[in-house]
Amino acid sequence: MSSLLQASSQDINNTDSDLFLTRRIKLIEELWESVLKVECGQELVDLLQQLRSMGSPEGQATGLPTSSVPKLIEELPLNDAVRAARAFALYFQLINIVEQHYEQREQQLNRQVSYQPLQGEKLQEEDTQSVLGAEFLEKSWQGNSTYQKAGTFNWLFPYLNKLNVPPQLIQRLLNQLDIRLVFTAHPTEIVRQTIRKKQRRISGILQHIDYSEMVAQNLGFLESPEAMESTEQLKEEIRLWWRTDELHQFKPEVLDEVDYALHYFQEVLFDTIPHLSKRLKQALNQSFKELTPPKNNFCRFGSWVGADRDGNPSVTPAVTWETACYQRGIVLERYLDSVRRLITLLSLSLHWSDVLPELLESLEQDRAVMPEVYEGLAIRYRREPYRLKLAYIEQRLKNTIHRNQCLSSEESAPAEVMERHHQTLYHSGEEFLAELQLIQRNLTETGLTCQDLEHLICQVEIYGFNLTELDMRQESSRHSDTLDEITEYLQILPKSYNELDESERVEWLTQELKTRRPLIPGELHFSEKTNETVETFRLLRKLQQEFGQQVCQTYIISMSHEVSDLLEVLLLAKEAGIYDPGTGSCSLQVVPLFETVDDLLRAPSVMKALFELPLYRACLAGGYGKEKEKGEYDIQEVMLGYSDSNKDSGFLSSNWEIHKAQKALQRLAEGYGVSLRIFHGRGGSVGRGGGPTYEAILAQPSSTINGRIKITEQGEVVASKYSLPELALYHLETATTAVIQGSLLGSGFDDIASWNEIMEKLAARSRQHYRALIYEEPDFLDFFLSVTPIQEISQLQISSRPARRQGGKKDLSSLRAIPWVFSWTQTRFLLPAWYGVGTALKDFLEEESERNYDQNLKLLRYFYLKWPFFRMAISKVEMTLAKVDLQIAHHYLKELANPEDHERFERIFQQIADEYYLTSDLVRLVTNHEKLLDGDPDLQRSVQLRNRTIVPLGFLQVSLLKRLREYSNQSASGVIHFRYSKEELLRGALLTLNGIAAGMRNTG
């Protein structure tokens, strides 16, 4: 075979599943190569083969003679370099599709076999006598154990049964099960919507090929004409893709990002989510027939897209309003389609089926308010009550959609028209749900069921009329600056609000929150920022009035430092009518986001001071003297930021401080009778808290979960999890399983004091070494700006949000964590995800004397085996190290740094290289792996497969960045000697950014 990546196929184990993957990769490679031959000629294919020879079998750049690699690249005409970059980027996109297709196929096959965790094997007595769940955590991570299906409902509930977990504990947890996944629009997803649609079509073609081959095989045929036809269609699709522009034609606006995020709901999630509830019910019933399953909406989605204002001036009140209308429009249209299907399906006649009197009464009421529907359909649906009822429902949905369109476009319908339609439309999802449940009760009473109706009811219970819950977010200083300007205008404070110390602020804010007297005038005569902040809270009130409180109940304060940060938001909410000082009730949950390490350390004291305030406790309780119904709790949501804490202190320190903060906050909340919901602000990359969701949840302190968790889903993570239905369902099932499992089967290892002391030392040493390079090395900022494509990333049209805070100053404090991680990923340093870990491990191993080395190593290996937190941290570091390529990274330095900077930059690079080799050696020592990722052969194969083809893309990127920067330098001098324009060079560089991002899969 002439495929460029023939070696990759030889690396795959010859199991049935791997053979299937091998065949699919081979098919894609051959089609990719044939398309390139037709479109560009044999010369390009030969060039790609030559470029790819730069990589070793392990996927690293080879130590080729210094002159040969750059010479080959530098001599390429720009057109050839761009075509090569596009070809490799296309390859990665196709491989991503194949891997997702393979993962989905595996999940479908797995569901066809028994999921019993211990087939033919009984639990040993010592397993049940050990710390509950500890043995499971150990065994489920062993590649050859019998726990191969861990992470699914059909595994979980039989296992809980065998462990004799009390059913009442399971029931209590199921009653409060609350999983929230929040989509965000952070600029890590750089694939155009147009390309996403092509990817979905290709995935569909692959599924058709699978089915055709299976049918042919079952019939005893060697070949399938249908599969061959689909293969030609696949080739045609790849050709069309090759001729499509990969880059955004314009900088996305916020509503473009809204459309992108909601694409996954329209294509996959809207129909998939109800199956999650069905799977849980079926699995629970098999093991615990007496238990009641959770409500259908135990897993819900939120969104920041169109509501997150932190650092994004494009998110205005008008944009948020339009976002809410757009979401409602999508869900109403889907409900309308479902109702029309039910009209076709529920053709029951009064001749052959009885109905309850309440349905007939309902039809009479509908006839009175919608006589035109009756007159038009009375004959057609004569003696077909269900169809007639559904026709009324259909018309109400149409009227509701029309009203929503008027609200979205800011058209004002005449008052008499709105009054006339008041009873002929739905004002909430609850009204729509009640009518569907009326039909369901009638069917049940006559011994019938309707799966389509049950499916629709489940969707309404989950999505309501809002599809997702919008979370507002704004940076803390925006609120203090707003109050500073308002109080200065009113002259009501003896000095500027921003000059007050914390105790003075809290005292004044508390007094203002107790009075009904307005603070902010109706007409706003302030600066644009202050007016926008006040208008945001007024919009919030308007949103809740129109869409219901559930449309937006969360206001997140990024960079939360003090008690006043939360009280400021509460005061602005009071001014908008959201908080009532008389009753103490508030329809908005104020959520602090603790991001830096200092803020994480301060978080318990901040929350303690808040819990001590009677007005704040009343706020959590729903008002003064509010009595809770059984099963209700005062819930405080707290968000913890992985991105900025990692940028601030490094990977190990960040994760440990978040781990500690969770435990401290949980203890505090329990002491005040408050239920805590932790909101994990995880990104796609390891440097921003990313990683497998199932393992990540199990690595949390078990006492902090209690059936509740909230997690951000960002960037390319959304595409990798939710592009295909079965894959989306699997990810949701594993997340739910982990929440239940982590809540009930706590290992207890998080509370071992001596282990915590060791982790404290490791984290502190890691942070010290990380900050010594990032923040204390005077040449580091110049190094970062020179050897990474950070300048070019800011020009990539991938997000509506700027890459920097505070006016775009070129320093690390203003740079957002996302482009920070993106830059290091492109250059194959991946520095934020591992730097400092090796030094911390080394210092611990050599602590006190070399005689303790073996004992300390045994202890770290025991941590890795037994302690979920430590294992997860080391596994993430191991995966990141496997993606690092210092040969490529050093090439960025040699080619992009100015000659006069080489000496000082080489010193920094050597420091990074020393830490990399130390970390790699010690991670392999702790994990007992000969090579990185030996414990996960599938991931190892995938990383090596990608690494080999990223190597030439890295060289191409360096060449194009070098030319682009030379052009910019010449342009600044006024004399340009280039045959290509800046736009052409920038376009080529950005294509390589796209390609490497696709190859690495987790960009930022």
Q: What is the pTM of this model?
A: 0.89
Name residues of the chain where pLDDT drops below 50: 1-14, 65, 114-148, 188, 414, 416-417, 808, 1004
pLDDT in tens, 15-38: 566 788 889 999 999 999 999 999
Q: Which residues are CB-neighbours of 851 under 8 A, at least 6 positions away?
A: none
Distance CA 297, CA 277 (A): 8
Judged by DSSP in three states, 594 sits in strand
Indicate the helix (H) or strand (E) that contains 657. helix 651-671
Contact 887, 62 (CB under 8 A): yes
Locate 548 and state its tokens. 């219901």
Contact 527, 481 (CB under 8 A): no
Rounded to the nearest 10 degrees, the angle between the axes of helix 886-896 and helix 937-973 is 0
Whole-angstrom CA distances from 248 to 85, 253, 314, 632, 799 are 16, 11, 18, 47, 10
Distance CA 96, CA 78 (A): 27
pLDDT of residue 411: 59
Domain boundary assignment for the chain: 469-681, 753-935
Number of residues that this document lists for the chain: 1004
Dihedral (Cα; 55, 58, 63, 69), 10-degree rounding: 10
Q: Which residues are CB-neighbours of 976 under 8 A, at least 6 positions away?
A: 967, 970
Locate 873 and state its tokens. 């941290």
Contact 707, 841 (CB under 8 A): no
Contact 426, 465 (CB under 8 A): yes
Distance CA 139, CA 150 (A): 10
pLDDT of residue 50: 84
Which amino acid, one-letter code, is at 146? T
Closest CA to 510 of 587, 615, 420, 592: 615
Locate 604 and state its tokens. 């318990």
Angle at 18 between CA 12 and CA 22, to 5 degrees: 70
Radius of gyration of the chain (CA): 30
Judged by DSSP in three states, 635 sits in strand
Task: Give the single-character DSSP code of 122.
Answer: P
* Catalytic residue ranges: 186, 647
Whole-angstrom CA distances from 96 to 22, 276, 906, 950, 995 are 14, 25, 36, 14, 12
Judged by DSSP in three states, 299 sits in strand
Burial of 631 (0-12, 13-18, 19+ CB in 10 A): exposed
What are residue 126's phi and psi, to 5 degrees?
-70, -25
Judged by DSSP in three states, 803 sits in coil
Start-to-end CA span in the chain (Å): 36
- Look-up of token digits 């994004």: 312
Burial of 736 (0-12, 13-18, 19+ CB in 10 A): buried
Closest CA to 440 of 424, 460, 426: 460
Locate 774 and state its tokens. 């990032």
Distance CA 48, CA 960 (A): 17
Contact 342, 456 (CB under 8 A): yes
How crowded is residue 425: how many other Cβ atoms within 10 Å of its Cβ? Answer: 18
- Which residues on adjacent β-strands are paired with residue 585? 580
- Look-up of token digits 């039809």: 363
pLDDT in tens, 437-485: 999 999 999 999 999 999 999 999 999 999 999 999 999 999 999 999 9
Whole-angstrom CA distances from 149 to 110, 118, 525, 698, 942 are 8, 10, 62, 16, 21
Locate 241 and state its tokens. 């893709």
What b-and-e string marks burial along 137-164, b requiring 16 or more CB atoms within 10 Å of the CB? bbebbeeeeebebbbbbbbbbbbbebbe
How crowded is residue 289: how many other Cβ atoms within 10 Å of its Cβ? Answer: 7
pLDDT of residue 629: 67
Distance CA 907, CA 372 (A): 82
Q: What is the CA 504 to chain-centroid distance, rounded?
A: 39
Contact 947, 56 (CB under 8 A): no
Q: Which residues are CB-neighbours of 361 under 8 A, at least 6 positions away?
A: none
Angle at 608 between CA 605 and CA 611, to 5 degrees: 155
Contact 665, 812 (CB under 8 A): no
**H-type alpha helices, 464-596:** 476-490, 502-514, 528-547, 563-575
Strand 469-475 and strand 299-303: the pairing is: parallel
